[in-house]
Amino acid sequence: MAPERRAPRVLALVVPALPLQRILRTRPSAGPLGVVSEGVVHHANAPALAAGVRPGDSLVQARAACAAMSAEPLDPAADRSALRALAEALMGLAPAVELAPPDALFLDAAGARLAGSDAEASERTLAERVLGICRHMGYQGRVAVADGKAVSLALARHAGRERTRVAPGEGALSLSSLPLEALDLPAEVARWLSAVGIDRVGALAALPAETLAHRFGAAGSAAGRLARGEDSRPLVPFAPETFPHERWDLDGSDVGVLSSTEPLLFAVKRLADRVAARLAGRGLGASRLRLTLFLDPRGEERVDLPLARPGAEAALWLVPLRERLGGLRLPAPVRGLDLAVVEAAEVHAEQLAVGDRPEVARALDVALSRLSARLGDGSIFAAESADRHRPESAYRAGPFRRASADRCAMPGEEAPPSGRPTRLVDPPRPVVALGEGGRLTSLRVEGKARSVLAISGPERLAGEWWSEPFDRDYYRARLEGLGELWIYRDGRDGRLWIHGFFD
């Protein structure tokens, strides 16, 4: 006989009236407002409730109670996006997050025990962190930690408290006083139970299992198990398919259309905080962002922002964003914003080397972001040696990473060739040489003939016959009034070129 699977410890997060909360995130000081679908009010904000509007009222009834009530359409697609965004932000807290639309999420709370030996304290900490992220994303939520998805969800919805925790094995007891609707039973089962006077979960749990199975089959058996707190269903993890983006339609919100940089930055900051939270939850860091400004009445302006290092810290994004927005000349006010992650990479918590200070690391990140935003990605780099004989190809530009800056040169790494100038001119400059008796006596450099005081060489560098062949004899020449130059005679045509200065 297969062993009975135990119910997993699950944290359920419910966002009450999610459609209304989503709208009020951008309109916190709105007047009476109702979320309406097919002529029926589904949710109403505090001013509307105070005026006598009730969920379930027809729009006509609601307007009769409150003529000033604005009706916002229910938008299930937007609500699903909002729920996914919240799930992304929470992914860093638990091994698995499951969507439970229209307004709930499940988190695997079993991992909370690994954070410390005291399971109760760990689960309470998890609940605090979930509510904190929820608030950061602009929502008020309720959480419950219990055995199984059904129990935790029922308690989160109906316990009447912001936080609920039920010890292992006490799910049935915690459910017993809740109304039947807490179990979200099939309609036929719920109607029959109501008809026979069963209106509490505890009463349903007391019914013999055979009675429910006989009357309703599998649905009845399942209802009985839920009432007894038996729910061993595993979580189905949510896997986001796209990079996060957040949008804010300013027109109609408390902010209204924007024309100047500072208020625009304030609005961008709000989006950046949410996008960063979602990335952090997924263990990702943005390496390129795109900010789209929707202009009033039409048109858009796009700002692409490469970042020096992948990261999920909104404060660091705002530094280069401020640089770019400050230089923009907008032809019209901005009526909406969209901030999207275009490129991202996994980021791992970096171990600071001994002696590192977080404030230095942060200052470096800010400086790199500013330089990258203003001068372009390709303008800042760390050089890496390349195994090429052609001098101008003997190095390549690589990313400058703080973490790799802690790396010391490994034993066995090839030593650079000696006798190279500190400055290389690109392209090489032609030079006219004067000689006597086969000896180079002077060079005409920068319009002036200069005597050759000393010369050493040649060092022959040649190769790359398969692509761009080169054949050069290099010399170090010290010139009067100038110093040491690196010159070469091209083996293909005998011409002399200045390639560098020993400065």
Binding region for other proteins (CB under 8 A): 323-324, 326-329, 353, 355, 357, 359-361, 363-364, 366-368, 370-371, 373-376, 378-385, 391, 394-395, 397, 400, 404-409, 415-418, 420-426, 453-454, 478-485, 500-503
Q: Are 238 and 15 in contact (CB under 8 A)?
A: no
Which residue number, 5 or 357, has a Cβ lying nearer to other proteins? 357
DSSP assignment letter at 200: B
Which residue number, 73 or 430, has a Cβ lying nearer to other proteins? 430
For the bound state, the minimum distance from the C-beta of residue 492 to other proteins, rounded and expressed in Å, comes to 23
Which residue number, 236 or 363, has a Cβ lying nearer to other proteins? 363
Q: Which residues pair with 164 in a beta bridge?
A: 144
Whole-number Å distance between alpha carbons of 126 and 90: 10
**Crossing angle for the helix pair 119-136 and 261-281, nearest 10 degrees?**
150
Whole-number Å distance between alpha carbons of 395 and 385: 4
Contacts of 453-460 with CB under 8 Å at 24 or more apart are 453/478, 453/479, 453/480, 454/478, 458/489, 459/419
Alpha helices per DSSP H over 100-163: 119-136, 149-158
For the bound state, the minimum distance from the C-beta of residue 165 to other proteins, rounded and expressed in Å, comes to 37
For the bound state, the minimum distance from the C-beta of residue 473 to other proteins, rounded and expressed in Å, comes to 19
Which residue number, 254 or 480, has a Cβ lying nearer to other proteins? 480
Q: Are 445 and 485 in contact (CB under 8 A)?
A: yes
Residue 428: which of 385, 489, 367 has the closest Cα? 489
For the bound state, the minimum distance from the C-beta of residue 280 to other proteins, rounded and expressed in Å, comes to 22
Cβ-count burial of 47 within 10 angstroms (0-12 exposed, 13-18 middle, 19+ buried)?
A: middle
Which residue number, 211 or 379, has a Cβ lying nearer to other proteins? 379
For the bound state, the minimum distance from the C-beta of residue 446 to other proteins, rounded and expressed in Å, comes to 9
Which residue number, 181 or 301, has a Cβ lying nearer to other proteins? 301
Residue 346: which of 398, 269, 281 has the closest Cα? 281
Whole-number Å distance between alpha carbons of 284 and 40: 41
For the bound state, the minimum distance from the C-beta of residue 384 to other proteins, rounded and expressed in Å, comes to 7
Q: Which residues pair with 435 in a beta bridge?
A: 440
CA distances from 345 to 307, 318, 379 (A): 12, 19, 21
Whole-number Å distance between alpha carbons of 384 and 395: 5
For the bound state, the minimum distance from the C-beta of residue 325 to other proteins, rounded and expressed in Å, comes to 9
For the bound state, the minimum distance from the C-beta of residue 463 to other proteins, rounded and expressed in Å, comes to 16
Which residue number, 266 or 381, has a Cβ lying nearer to other proteins? 381
Backbone angles phi, psi at 219, to 5 degrees: -60, -40
Which residue number, 2 or 415, has a Cβ lying nearer to other proteins? 415
The CB density around residue 414, as the number of other CB atoms within 10 Å, is 7
Which residue number, 114 or 462, has a Cβ lying nearer to other proteins? 462
Which residue number, 40 or 394, has a Cβ lying nearer to other proteins? 394
For the bound state, the minimum distance from the C-beta of residue 424 to other proteins, rounded and expressed in Å, comes to 4
For the bound state, the minimum distance from the C-beta of residue 291 to other proteins, rounded and expressed in Å, comes to 13
Whole-number Å distance between alpha carbons of 394 and 416: 9
For the bound state, the minimum distance from the C-beta of residue 187 to other proteins, rounded and expressed in Å, comes to 59
Which residue number, 148 or 428, has a Cβ lying nearer to other proteins? 428
Q: Are 369 and 307 in contact (CB under 8 A)?
A: yes
Q: What element of type H or E holds 323? A: helix 314-326
Backbone angles phi, psi at 299, to 5 degrees: 100, 165
